[in-house]
């Protein structure tokens, strides 16, 4: 199973962290966003890991598989 490594929460924009933008291409997700996984991040002892979303065409970040 091919799968691109998710970025950490600290490399994401605020909109990407809040699920408003695709984490792979930055496109605004208005409808049909799919869960891309958990972006991991720790701030000291605080776990800031969060669910992130992507376009339906490349949930794993593999743009060449966009349909």
The footprint of Zn ion (CB under 5 A) covers 22, 24-25, 27, 55
How many other C-beta atoms lie within 10 A of the C-beta of residue 63?
12
Q: How far is CA 14 from the centre of its chain?
A: 11
Q: State the minimum distance, in angstroms, from the CB of residue 42 to Zn ion.
A: 26
| Residue 38: strand pairing partners | 51
Residue 30's region, left for phi above 0, alpha for psi from -120 to 50, else beta, is alpha
Nearer to Zn ion, 3 or 27 (CB): 27
Q: State the minimum distance, in angstroms, from the CB of residue 13 to Zn ion.
A: 13
Q: State the minimum distance, in angstroms, from the CB of residue 25 to Zn ion.
A: 3
Nearer to Zn ion, 39 or 55 (CB): 55
């Amino acid at each position: 199973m091919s799968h691109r490594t998710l970025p950490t929460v600290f490399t994401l924009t605020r909109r990407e962290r809040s699920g408003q933008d695709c984490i792979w291409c930055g496109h605004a997700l208005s409808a049909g966003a799919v869960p891309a996984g958990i972006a991991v991040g720790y701030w000291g002892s605080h776990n800031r890991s969060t669910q992130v979303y992507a376009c339906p065409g490349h949930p794993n970040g593999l743009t060449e598989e966009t349909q």
